[in-house]
Amino acid sequence: MESLLKDFELENKDHSIEGLSKWRSAVSLVKNPRRRFRNVADLVKRLQAQEKLKKIQGTIRAVIFAQRAALQFKEAVGATEYKLSEKTREAGFGIEPDDIASIVRGHDHKNLRKVGKVEGIASKLSVSIDEGVSQHSINSRQEVYGVNRYTEKPSKNFLMFVWDALHDVTLIILIVCAIVSIGIGLPTEGWPKGVYDGVGIILSIFLVVFVTAISDYKQSLQFQDLDKEKKKIFVHVTRDGKRQKISIFDLVVGDIVHLSTGDQVPADGIFISGYSLLIDESSLSGESEPANIEAERPFLLSGTKVQDGQGKMIVTTVGMRTEWGKLMETLSEGGEDETPLQVKLNGVATVIGKIGLTFSVLTFVVLTIRFVVEKALYGEFSNWSSTDALKLLDYFAIAVTILVVAIPEGLPLAVTLSLAFSMKKLMNDRALVRHLSACETMGSANCICTDKTGTLTTNHMVVDKIWICEKTTEIKGNESVEKLKSEISEEVISIFLQAIFQNTSSEVVNDKEGKKAILGTPTESALLEFGLLSGGDFDAQRRDYKILKVEPFNSSRKKMSVLVGLPDGGVRAFCKGASEIVLKLCDKIIDSNGTAVDLPEEKAKNVNDVINGFACEALRTLCLAVKDINETEGETNIPDDGYTLIAIVGIKDPVRPGVKEAVQTCQKAGITVRMVTGDNINTARAIAKECGILTEGGVAIEGPAFRDLSPEQMKDIIPRIQVMARSLPLDKHTLVTNLRNMIGDVVAVTGDGTNDAPALHESDIGLAMGIAGTEVAKENADVIIMDDNFTTIVNVAKWGRAIYINIQKFVQFQLTVNVVALVTNFVSACITGSAPLTAVQLLWVNLIMDTLGALALATEPPNDGLMERLPVGRRASFITKPMWRNIFGQSIYQLIVLGVLNFDGKRLLGLTGSDATAVLNTVIFNTFVFCQVFNEINSREIEKINIFRGMFDSGIFFTVIFSTVAFQAIIVEFLGTFANTVPLNWQLWLLSVLIGAVSMPISAILKCIPVERDTTTKHHDGYEALPSGPELA
């Protein structure tokens, strides 16, 4: 089978038009393209979006180049005169939406100066830069300037799904056959007998259509919920003088937005203030070089990303008036990329469909030839009646219905159903899947590279120890803080508090209740909290000192520095960050007397011992340092050395509950967990041991040492690396690349920062943190872990495995039905000249095996046993040898039973009388259906004998089985007129059920038959592949 599917291979994360169009051209037999390809990317719309993006990029590049090259020319050109409409004037605003939009979009410096720069813009928008938008003006702003949403394609209603389902070519042919049957039947057989066959087919078709439409509609609602969740982005704004977090969709023109590293610019706007603000405009302009935003270059465009720094902007344009809004309208029509499993199953459906088409044609040809030959033998060849026409029409309908059953349209759609169901469940479990393929791929992951902070730990940080004036103090509430203050001089306390309050990107604000609240990263929040506890006043500090320059913290620098203007006119620099890095910048230290003294090498070693001591207690260590700068040195340059060490702070971040158990679950499941952190090696080791990540024989390495390894050394050591400390984002990217390319691992990677984006993109599954993660990280991720919890990652892996195994179960079940239905009808047609299963009966079977089968088997929740086996390999065959064994074993049993009933059933069952043939055909139909019902239960486990474990945990499975049996009874007992069945006595009902039930012990026997498997030797973390066969029961 795999050799036939070579055109249906799609690499994970292959989003190219060429990659996506290759398999489409190989699909040659599709019953209903509208339904089959509903959940794949619309390549035409995607090409249109790419063209639109190129056009927008060209326009923006032209504007930027014109701005750089023709600034002097612009000075000479007169500014545009702006006119106000009555609506805008009555609302209290001084500029039209399109006018202000053109200033920012066109980078129009001249007209910006004319309106009075950012202050003039704020005045025309009736907003205070310090206080922000007032709550009561939001409605009027939305009425005049619009809402921050882009136009989206309207969702489909239920009737549209019914219409899609009716586009099945084979169903259309059957409807035509049914109408012709009624047209011929009425004049020949009269009312109502002449319409029974035709009406039966039509009713069956509408049953199939409505059940299919209901299933598809429910899927679409689940995807809509997921899509809404994906688009939830929150931004910090100042409104009514208070800083608050709001949805990007609630943003209005005039809002004062706070930007920091990793944020997405939520609307077009103008820069107010900030430090080192670097904007990545490549998504709009195509330019890879980031733009430095400052007062001279103040224009910010929606959809661009903050690469570094922080700042404030005033929103000038929202929604569809921005270039990003226009682009997103087109991009949203491109659809979601199909997954590798969907593509592979499209291939399986195509191959089986071709086989089915051959059987269908052969069945019709054989039945027709037999009929014609019989007429010739009886000398009736020249005498044709409407009854003969009905007979031939019936043969054609049977052939078409065989085709309906033979083309397993439900295979690729079952993947979508399973993914929709799983993603909805995962969303409830705090994991938001952004890309469908991630669910599948996560089931194959055998390596997780995880961050430490916030993922393995709680991310609720508190200052636990402080080393200052050569003394260590353990912080336990107010008493220890007061004791610390009493032991060191006021000058040292003052400089220490300055280092905390001046050198921070976080803020202390008043919340809605008027209480103090800290906005910022957990590490900085812990420091600020300690500063407030020590009696510091954040607002007073910021009021009295002027911040001149800031170098924000990032994962490459691992430190933050700030230059501050003192009240007396002096200049002071503060630096904080990773202890070893900041310590190297210091040549002085505040000693036990509170005096700054030289820091010789011996004393530096003692300080290093303190750092390592804190780290071994699993504390995150930070060094705080200060330097007074002479005016001759130039106040705009932040120094790189000559600092005085103030203190070492040890911050506690406890391990999350349940993480150790989750790591053990991963290890049992053949998933190696590696911790990649920017923390000190000793802190990383301590946390890794506590979590169970660092085991005997495992390697803990630092980023700099890892970078210096040769390719040969990397190949040798990478499988054993369990901890990487003091790593840069580049180290994480290198590790992920080598794990995938050198070792062949399927790698999942967690990330939260902007610089994690390359590693997230390079990995097989990128996992971004929902709480601590930046928008840049989330955009490059496949799954967003909403609670930042490692246990949730393990849950995603479990669901990934469930999806894969559920689809395998469904494929096994459907292929068995395919084989039996095709062979039974074909052989019977060849030998007896009639098909035992009529068109209506085959349509019911198609519903059982397609929509209902997918609902039952593709939506089963995961069980703990899934995490007790090794992951599926990257190149593993989807239809495994155990599956083929089960398919052929069950098919042979069913074919033997149905064959015996078909050819010798009357004698065996003692059937006599005029209705003997009708009773026998009903028994065959009933037996066939019950064989499928019990085989559906058998298919719950491919290799394990105990098929009942967890069956009643799946409400959908139980409901489908119950509904199938109930409706089968109704068809046989009450709908015989339309379904060509007759009521059966209880003995024949019992026989049908028993024959079906025998498939269960046969299934158990089949699972005891060993089949050749690809055996995996010991996994590199020490776990062996689990055995297969009856011992797994």
Q: Could you give the CA distance from residue 506 to residue 576 in angstroms, rounded to a whole number? A: 14
Q: Which one, of 806, 812, 807, lies nearest residue 881 by Cα? A: 812
Count Cβ atoms within 10 A of the Cβ of residue 520 and give its class: 0-12 exposed, 13-18 middle, 19 or more buried.
middle
Q: Could you give the CA distance from residue 523 to residue 576 in angstroms, rounded to a whole number? A: 11
Q: Could you give the CA distance from residue 574 to residue 488 in angstroms, rounded to a whole number? A: 20
311 near 277, Cβ under 8 Å?
Answer: yes
Q: Is 451 a catalytic residue?
A: yes
27 near 343, Cβ under 8 Å?
Answer: no
Q: Find the largest Cα–Cα distance for the chain.
A: 125
Cis check: omega of the bond before 836, within 30 degrees of 0: no
Query: Which runs of consecutive H residues, i.e. helices, occur in 848-985?
Result: 853-857, 881-909, 916-938, 955-974, 976-979
DSSP one-letter code for 41: -
Q: Could you give the CA distance from residue 144 to residue 126 in angstroms, rounded to a whole number? A: 13
Of the candidates 168, 197, 337, 451, the residue annotated as catalytic is 451
First to last CA, the chain: 29
DSSP secondary structure string for all residues of 615-663: HHTTEEEEEEEEEEE-GGG-TTSPPSS-EEEEEEEEEE-PBPTTHHHHH
As beta bridge partners, residue 623 has 577, 648
What is the dihedral angle through the alpha carbons of 138, 143, 146, 149, rounded to the nearest 10 degrees? 70
Please state the separation of Cα 727 from the chain's center in Å. 26
115 near 236, Cβ under 8 Å?
Answer: no
DSSP secondary structure string for all residues of 271-336: EEEEEEEEEE-HHHH---SPEEEBTTB-EE-TT-EEEEEEEEEEEEE-GGGSHHHHHHHHHTTS-P
As beta bridge partners, residue 550 has 562
Task: Using DSSP bridges, classify how beta strands 471-474 and 721-725 pair: parallel, antiparallel or unpaired.
Answer: unpaired
Which residue reads 């055909």 in tokens?
921
Q: Could you give the CA distance from residue 912 to residue 865 in angstroms, rounded to a whole number? A: 52
- Phi-psi label, residue 172: left if phi above 0, alpha if psi -120 to 50, beta otherwise: alpha
156 near 193, Cβ under 8 Å?
Answer: no
As beta bridge partners, residue 432 has 784
Q: Which one, of 671, 669, 675, lies nearest residue 691 by Cα? A: 675
Q: Tokens in use for 107?
A: 């980078």
Cα angle 564, 568, 574 (rounded to 5 degrees) comes to 25
The three-state DSSP-derived secondary structure of 567-616 is CCCCEEEEEEEEHHHHHHCEEEEECCCCCEEECCHHHHHHHHHHHHHHHH
Q: Could you give the CA distance from residue 876 to residue 869 in angstroms, rounded to a whole number? A: 15
Q: Is 810 helix (H, G, I), strand (E, B) or coil?
A: helix
Q: Could you give the CA distance from residue 1012 to residue 873 in angstroms, rounded to a whole number? A: 16
Q: Could you give the CA distance from residue 545 to residue 540 in angstroms, rounded to a whole number? A: 9
Active site residues: 451
